[in-house]
Structure 1
Amino acid sequence: MLSKIIKPVYKVEKIIKSPIFAHSFIFAHSFSSGFFKKTSLFGNFANDTKKEIEKYLAKGCEQKDGLLKEHEVYDVLSLAGMQSPFHQFFDCRETSGETSAEKIRKFQERCDPSKIYIAKGVVRYKKTGLLVTHKTEIGALMFGVKYHDLPDAIAKMEGKFRGTEFELEGILFAEMVDFPKGFGGEFLLSGYQDPFFGPCVAFGLGGTTVEYFKKKMRPNNAQLFLPTMYDFSTFEDQIKRLPLTELSTGLVRGVKKNLETETIFKTIETFRSLISHYSAYNPDADYVIEEIEVNPAVASHSRILALDGVMRVRKKNAGELMQIKSMKPLHKIRHLLCPKTVAIAGASSTGTNNPGNIILSKLLKKGIAKEDIYLIHPKAKEINGISCYKTVTDMVRKRGNNPVDMMLVGIPAKFAGQMIMEAINEHAAESLSVISGGFGETERGEKIQKALEETLEKYDSNPKKRSVINGPNTVGNICVRYDVDAQKEYSGIETVFTEKQKSSATGKGSPNVALFCQSGAYMLSRMSDLADLVAPSVAVSVGNQMDLSAIDFLEHFLPSKSITTYALYIEGLNKGDGIRLMSLIQKARDLGKFVILYKAGQSEAGISAAKGHTAAMANDFGMFKHLMSHSGALIADSFLQYNQLMITTSRLTSLYSQLNAIPKDSKVSVAALSNAGFEKCAIADHLFNEESLKYCKLPNWSSETLRELQGIFKKFRIGEVVDLQDILDLTPMMTDDGYDMIMRAVLKDPNVHFAIFSAVPETQTLLTLENEFPKKGSLYHRLVNLKKEFGDKKSFVVVIESGPKYDAICKALIQAGIPTFRSADEASWVVSKLISSIRRD
C-alpha cells in the first residue's frame, strides 16, 4: 500500500480557485455535517504540538527503515490525541557512568509499583540495522512482569539477545490493561499513504483474527478504508453502522456497552489528522508518515488505548506535492482529438493495410489537407503525395520549430521509445497518440516507458513546452463533437486503426455519452454492441496510461455541454487517480451527470489477467468498488450491466432534477406493474437491497389512484382474478388499451416518482410482434406518447421479455428514448443503482 508519491506540481491555491474542483477542497475547511465538520483537512495541530511530533519524526528518518520505536509511536499518538497504557522505556545502550544496578534502580523508580507489565524488547538486526516489528517470533515479549521483578526481567531480556544476530536497544515496559475479550473490545486502527487514494485510514476488527474475519465477513463489514482527501463527514454513517462500532457501543442486544460513538470518532480523527497532515498532499509538511498502525487498540474504561504501535516515516522530497486536480496541460487534449496539423510515424510506402496507412486514409477523408500532414519515414521521400522526413527533428525544423497539433506513433516499441523521447524534448507535437505496444507489458518496454515518464515530469513545471501522450498501446480515438470550450465547438477526427467495414457501429444513437477505456477492444465492442442505440460523441482508448489516463479525460470532458454520461473501463489506476476519480464522480453528480465504471481485476485471476494486458496496476477491487459507489458511481459487475447503464442513463437525462426535487428525508416511490406473476417477484427481489432500501420504496397509492385502478381492474375483469397490490399484476388478459389506462393512472399519482412497466408479450391481447407494434393503438405507440407527455416530469423504464421475436419492439422503444430491458430483474437492478447513486448524501 505504500509508495513514494513524487510529483512536482503547482501550488494548492490554484486548485482551490478552480470552479470545477472547488468542491474537492471545500471540505478541507468546513465539513458538511456531524463530528468531522469540526476538523480541517490537514488536522488542527497547534504549532507547539507539531514541533514535538516532528522531533520524533526526525528520529525515525535517521533510521534506515524509517521506523519509530514503539514507545515513540505512543508519544506521537498521545500528542495527536490518542491514549496509551502507562509505559516506561529502559535504554539498554545508555551509558552515563552509572553501574548497571544503579541504572536499573533509577528506572524502577519511574515505574508504578501497583501495575503489572508486559516487557517488549526493542530489537534490531545487527547486519542491516532494521527494526524487528514482529516481536513474538524472536521471543522479545514477556508477560505479567510485576514491579519487583523488573530487574530480573531486564537481565533475562538482555541475556536472551547477547551474542545473537540481534541488537537489543532497550525494553519497553507497558501496563497490561484489562479489556473486554471478544467482539467490541479490540480494534485495528491504521493510516497509510495509498498510491491511488492518497492518505487513508483503516478502522475495523483488530487482534490476531482480523484477516480471517475479512475473508469470512461481507465486504466492508470487518474493516473500512477511508480516504482522508474526500469529505470525511460522508463516512460517519458507515463508521456508525460497522458491526464493530455497534458492538462496542452496546447497540447489539446482550452486548455490554464499552464506548461512546464520539470516542471512536475522536480516535479515528487522530489517525486522519496525522496521515493527512504528514502527506504529500500537504504543501506545508516536511515529513510523510507512510504508515501508522495500532493492532490491537482496545476499549478500556470508556477509552481506546493503543497496545501496539508501528510508524514509518520519511522526509518529504523537494518539490514533492500531490494534488487532486491534474497538473498536466489537459487543454491540449483538444489538439489530440481535433488536430489541424498531424505527423505520422508508421505509414508504409509499400502497403495500405498497416495501421499508419489506415489512419492516414481516414484523416484525408476527414478533410485534413495533405500539406498539413507530415510523415516520418527513414527511407521514403513521399507517400501518397505527402512529403516524408527522416527524423522528428527534421520535421519540426521544417515547421520553424512550431509543433504539430498531434503526432501519431505506430512503429515497434524499440524504435518508438527513442522517437517519442525526441518528440518530447523537441516539443515536436502538442499531443502524441502512441499505438505501438510492448511498453509497460514487457520488462524491456517497461524501462523505456519509465524513462519517458521521467522525461515528461521534467516538463511539468513548463506546461507550454509539455506534450500530452495518449497510450502506448492505444487503438485510437473517435471524436465526433468537442464542446468543452465555452466559446467554440470543434469537429474531431478518428484515429482507430481498424477498418470501418469490420465494425457494427453505425454512428447512430444517443450521442450524449463519452467512452474512456483502457482496453481499445472493449471500446470498439461497446460501440458495435450498442449500434443504433448509443453513439458516443467521444471515445478514447487510453492504453497503458503512461501519461494521460481515463481519469484525465473524465476531468477534461466534465464541463462538456452535451455529454451527460461518462462510461469508463479501467484495468488499473495511475498514482493519485483513485481519489481524483472519487472527487470527479461527486462533481459529476453535482452537475446532474452519470459516471459508469467497470473495473477489471475483480478476482485473483482477473487481477493476473489485467496485469498482462495493458500493464494495469492491480489493486483491491473490494475497496475500489466500495469507495466509487460511495462517491456515487454506477458500478457495473458485468458487460451487460455496463451496456444497460449506458443505454438507460443516456435517455433519462432529466432523472437527477426529478429525483432531487423530492425532499431529502423522503424515499423515492417506485411503482411497478407486469402481466406475469414471476416478474412481480423479480422486481421486488432486485429493486430492493441493503443499500437501495435507504432510498426507495413501493408507492402508497393516493385515494384517487386507488379508485381509478379499481375501476380499470373491474372494466377489464381482472379484479376477480387478482387483488390490487403494491406491485400491480395485470394478468395476461390485459390489453394495450388497459395497459395505457393503468400506466397513465400510475404516472399521474403524486405519490409516484418513478415507474417500471413490464410485459411478457406472448399474449394475444397485446400488439407486440414486429408486424403488429407499428399499428396505431399498440403498446409501443402508447409508451411513446407517455414518454412525450410525462418525460420531463417523471421517468420510467420498460421490460419486454420473450426472446428474439421481440427484438424489434425493444429496439424501437430504445430509439424512441425509452430505456427497455429484456428481463425484469435486470431493469430493477439498474433502477436500484440509479436511485441509490442520485439520492446518496
Structure 2
Amino acid sequence: MMVTRVDKSIINNVDRVFEKADSEGRSTLYEFEIYEILSKIGIQTPKHLFVKVPGDVTKQDVEGFSENIVVKIVSPDIAHKQKLGGVKIIRTWDLQGLKTVMTDMKAEVLSHFARNEQPAIEGFLLVEFIQYTPSIGNETMIGCREDGEFGPMVLVSKGGDDAEFFAKYYDPANIFLPPLDPAESLDFVNKLHVAHKFRQTGRENYIKLIADALSKVSLLAHCYSSASQDSPKYRLESLDINPLVVTGDGRFIAIDGYGEFFPVQDGTKKLPQVNSENLEMFFRPQSVAVIGVSTNLSRPNMAREIAKLLHRAGQEDLYLVNPRGGTMKINDAEYPLYKDFQEIPKVIDLVVYVAPIASTAEFVKDLSGRAKAVIVISGLPADLEYSQFVKEMNQVKPRELRLIGPNCMGVFFAPGEDGKGVNTLFIEEEKLGLKYSENSNTALLTQSGALALTSIDAVQDSKIFKAIVSFGNQYDVKITDLMAYFADDPTIDLISLYIEGLSPGEGRLFFELARDIPKPILVYKSGKTEAGAKAAASHTAAMSGNYAVFEAAAKQGGVILAEKLEDFYDY
C-alpha cells in the first residue's frame, strides 16, 4: 500500500519550524531551518551552528567541527549569498579567526547596497565543510514547489551552481507529481540518465540513496500542499536542496537549501472536485429549448440554425423562444415560438442560450426547477469582462443547474438507439458534415471551437466521433467533469482533449483522473512556451515551466501526449 502521509510527530516538529519563521514575519526559511526539516524527515545534513553575534561564540560552541568550516551570512532578504561575498570556506580555522571572518563578511555584504536599502543581517551559519568531487552524478538537486495548476510537483536534476544551465541546455530536469513511495521512487531514479553512469561505475548504491531522499521529499511536498488530506497549517511554496552529495564515508548529505512557505488561511484555495451532476442532460436530453430563434430569413440567425440541427438530430420535444412569438417551420414540422421561456409547459432537460450575453444572468436566475442544463453559446462583448460575468452568474445560478460555456459551440452527440442526438455545432453541413456510425466511439473535448471544426474536417471520413464538446470559458462544467463523465460512458472508448489552459488545481485533478481512467486518453496542449520558467530565487521554479510540468503529469498519468496537431489528428 502506497504511503502518502508523513508521521504526525514529524508534522508537529516541522510545523514548529514554520511557526517560528511565521511569527517573525518571514515567508522564507533560513538554511539552518531547512536543515532541521530535512533531519526530521530522515535526510542527513552537515553539522552546523547558528551564530547571532560573532563575539558571543565560545570554544565549546564549535567543538566537533572539522578543521575546515563554511561560514554563511543569514538574512531573510538575500537568496543567493555567494554572489555578495556571503559564503566563505575557512581552512584550518581558529576561534578568533572565525569571529573576524564573520565581522568582515557582514561589512562586505552590506557594501553592495545603498545605506537606505541594506538587507537585514540576522547572523551567521557555521557549517561543516563537506569534501566531495563536483562532477556529474556526484551532485544531485531535489526540489519541490506548489504549481498553480497541478499542486505539488517534485524535481530531480544535476545539482551544483550550474544546475539551471545544465537543465536548460543539456538534460532537462526530471519532474513528477508526488507522492512517490520508496518502490516508485526507486523505479523513477533507475530510469534517469545518470543511473547508467552509476551502474557502469559500480555505484548502484547511489541510485538507492537518491531514491530514498526523493521519496522522503515527495512525501513532505505532498503533506504541505493543496493535495494533502492532512489539512496542513502551512503550504510549502518551494524547496530547493542543492546539492545533495555522497561523501567519502558513504553519507548522502544535503549541503545547501532554500525554502518558501505561507500559512493556510480560511480562504486558501483547495483542489477542485469532479462534479458530474446532471451532465447526462447535455448528451441524452428528452426535451430541448433554444433561446433567441428568429424567423427573419433575410438575416442570419445562429439560434435558428441550431434549432434545425437539433430537429435533424431527432429531438422531437423541441421548444423555441422568441419574444415576438409566432411559428417556425423546419422541414415538415411547425414549431410555436414561445414569447418567454417561462411559458413552456414543462421542465426542460437542456436549454441552448443564443441570446445576447448581457441578458444571461437575468435569464438564468429564473431557471430553478425549470431547467437542468444550459449551453451558453454567446461570446462576451468587448465591454464585458469575464470576471464581471462570473460575478453576476455566481449570484443567480441555481446550484443544481449545469452550464457549459460561455463562448463555445456546445455539444454534438451522435444519436443512440432511440434515434435522438444533440447537435449545437453551428456549422454548414454541406461543407463540413459530421459523419458518424454505430461504431463511432471517440469523445473530443476542446476549449477551442476552431479546433473542433478542424478535427471534424481532418477525420470526417473515419466517422470516429460519438461526442464533441466545445466548452469555452468553463464557467461551470470543467474539462475534468467531462473526462469523468465519459470515463463511465460505455459508448466511448477513447477520450481526446485539446487543452489551452487549466484553472487553479484543475491540473492535479486532470492527473488523478487520467491515472485512474482505464480508457486511452489523447491530449494536445497548446501554448508550449515556458512562460513559467522565469528568473526566480528558487532553482526549482526556474527549471519547471508550465509545459514541462504538464508534460511530466501526462506521462506519469499514462496520457498519450501529441507533440504536434498533426499527430493529434493522426492517432
Q: Given the two structures, how large is their TM-score scaled by the length of structure 1? A: 0.58
Q: Which of 442, 449, 453 is equivalent to 1:513?
A: 442
1:336 aligns with 2:282: yes
For 2:200, what is the secondary structure of its paired residue?
coil
For 1:503, what is the secondary structure of its paired residue?
coil
Name 1:252's counterpart in structure 2: 200
1:282 aligns with 2:228: yes
Contact 2:290 2:320 in 1 (8 A): yes
For 2:570, what is the secondary structure of its paired residue?
helix
Counterpart-to-counterpart distance in 2, 1:311 and 1:422: 47
1:537 aligns with 2:488: no
Counterpart-to-counterpart distance in 1, 2:40 and 2:383: 46
Name 1:136's counterpart in structure 2: 82
Counterpart of 2:210 in structure 1: which amino acid? I
Contact 2:74 2:122 in 1 (8 A): yes
Counterpart of 2:461 in structure 1: which amino acid? D
- Distance 1:208-1:477 versus aligned 2 partners, 3 A rule: same
CA apart distance, 1:65: 5.3
User: Mind listing any 5+ residue stretches in structure 1 that lack a counterpart?
Assistant: 1-29, 32-39, 93-99, 125-130, 390-394, 484-488, 608-617, 646-841
Q: Which of 382, 385, 389 is equivalent to 1:445?
A: 385
1:51 aligns with 2:12: yes
Contact 1:481 1:538 in 2 (8 A): no
Name 2:261's counterpart in structure 1: 313
Counterpart-to-counterpart distance in 2, 1:449 and 1:115: 67
Q: Which of 17, 41, 48 is equivalent to 1:87?
A: 48
Name 2:536's counterpart in structure 1: none
Counterpart-to-counterpart distance in 1, 2:523 and 2:164: 28
Counterpart-to-counterpart distance in 1, 2:193 and 2:35: 27
Contact 1:505 1:530 in 2 (8 A): no
Counterpart-to-counterpart distance in 1, 2:5 and 2:144: 14
CA apart distance, 1:449: 5.2
User: Mind listing any 5+ residue stretches in structure 2 that lack a counterpart?
Assistant: 329-335, 534-543
For 1:521, what is the secondary structure of its paired residue?
helix
CA apart distance, 1:79: 0.5
Counterpart-to-counterpart distance in 2, 1:432 and 1:409: 7
For 2:339, what is the secondary structure of its paired residue?
strand
User: If you compute each CA radius of gyration, which structure gives the higher value, 1 or 2?
Assistant: 1
CA apart distance, 1:621: 3.3
1:153 aligns with 2:101: yes
Counterpart-to-counterpart distance in 1, 2:488 and 2:456: 23
1:375 aligns with 2:321: yes
Counterpart-to-counterpart distance in 2, 1:269 and 1:344: 54
Name 1:353's counterpart in structure 2: 300
- Distance 1:189-1:376 versus aligned 2 partners, 3 A rule: farther
Q: Which of 191, 211, 219 is equivalent to 2:144?
A: 191
CA apart distance, 1:63: 5.4
CA apart distance, 1:177: 1.0
Q: Which of 461, 470, 486 is equivalent to 1:557?
A: 486
Name 1:624's counterpart in structure 2: 550
Alignment map for 1:789-808 (pairs within 5 Å): none
- Distance 1:229-1:452 versus aligned 2 partners, 3 A rule: farther
- Distance 1:423-1:67 versus aligned 2 partners, 3 A rule: farther
Where is the helix percentage greater, Structure 1 or Structure 2?
A: 1
- Distance 1:252-1:480 versus aligned 2 partners, 3 A rule: same
- Distance 1:505-1:418 versus aligned 2 partners, 3 A rule: closer
Name 1:243's counterpart in structure 2: 193
Counterpart-to-counterpart distance in 2, 1:278 and 1:420: 43
CA apart distance, 1:206: 1.3
1:528 aligns with 2:457: yes
Counterpart-to-counterpart distance in 1, 2:22 and 2:354: 46
Counterpart-to-counterpart distance in 1, 2:406 and 2:105: 57
Contact 1:84 1:307 in 2 (8 A): yes
CA apart distance, 1:512: 1.6
1:473 aligns with 2:407: yes
**Deviations, residues 253-312 of structure 1 (Å, cap 9, x unaligned):** 4xx749532221221122111111112222322222121111222222322222221222
CA apart distance, 1:515: 1.6
CA apart distance, 1:176: 1.9
CA apart distance, 1:50: 2.0
- Distance 1:222-1:367 versus aligned 2 partners, 3 A rule: closer
CA apart distance, 1:318: 3.1
Name 2:524's counterpart in structure 1: 598
Counterpart-to-counterpart distance in 2, 1:431 and 1:159: 68
Q: Per chain length, whose mean CA-contact separation is higher, i.e. which structure has more relative contact order (CA < 8 Å, sep 6+)?
A: 2
Deviates more, 1:262-271 or 1:571-580: 571-580
Alignment map for 1:583-662 (pairs within 5 Å): 583-589=512-518, 593-603=519-529, 620-645=546-571
Name 1:182's counterpart in structure 2: 135
CA apart distance, 1:364: 4.2
Q: Which of 176, 179, 191 is equivalent to 1:226?
A: 176
Name 1:60's counterpart in structure 2: 21
- Distance 1:104-1:601 versus aligned 2 partners, 3 A rule: same
Contact 2:436 2:466 in 1 (8 A): no
- Distance 1:111-1:404 versus aligned 2 partners, 3 A rule: farther
Q: Which of 38, 41, 62 is equivalent to 2:4?
A: 41
**Deviations, residues 177-219 of structure 1 (Å, cap 9, x unaligned):** 11121111111111222233322211111122222222333xx
Contact 1:191 1:202 in 2 (8 A): yes
For 2:461, what is the secondary structure of its paired residue?
coil
**Deviations, residues 412-447 of structure 1 (Å, cap 9, x unaligned):** 55x1564477468x67643222222348xx796342
Contact 2:178 2:222 in 1 (8 A): yes
Counterpart-to-counterpart distance in 2, 1:350 and 1:116: 89
CA apart distance, 1:480: 1.9
Name 2:160's counterpart in structure 1: 207
CA apart distance, 1:74: 1.0
Counterpart of 2:70 in structure 1: which amino acid? I
Counterpart of 2:50 in structure 1: which amino acid? F
Counterpart-to-counterpart distance in 2, 1:229 and 1:403: 46
Counterpart-to-counterpart distance in 2, 1:134 and 1:87: 19
Contact 1:434 1:469 in 2 (8 A): yes
- Distance 1:403-1:575 versus aligned 2 partners, 3 A rule: farther
Contact 1:566 1:595 in 2 (8 A): yes
Counterpart-to-counterpart distance in 2, 1:261 and 1:477: 50
**Deviations, residues 50-70 of structure 1 (Å, cap 9, x unaligned):** 221111122333455521221
Alignment map for 1:763-802 (pairs within 5 Å): none
Name 2:537's counterpart in structure 1: none
Contact 1:333 1:468 in 2 (8 A): yes
Contact 2:274 2:481 in 1 (8 A): no
**Deviations, residues 507-532 of structure 1 (Å, cap 9, x unaligned):** 34731221212222222332233233
Name 2:375's counterpart in structure 1: 433
Counterpart-to-counterpart distance in 1, 2:257 and 2:524: 38
Counterpart-to-counterpart distance in 2, 1:510 and 1:520: 24
For 1:200, what is the secondary structure of its paired residue?
strand
1:172 aligns with 2:172: no
For 1:280, what is the secondary structure of its paired residue?
coil
- Distance 1:132-1:262 versus aligned 2 partners, 3 A rule: same
Name 2:541's counterpart in structure 1: none
Contact 1:189 1:202 in 2 (8 A): yes
Contact 2:530 2:546 in 1 (8 A): no
Alignment map for 1:262-273 (pairs within 5 Å): 262-273=208-219
Name 1:327's counterpart in structure 2: 274
Counterpart of 1:408 in structure 2: which amino acid? V
CA apart distance, 1:118: 2.1
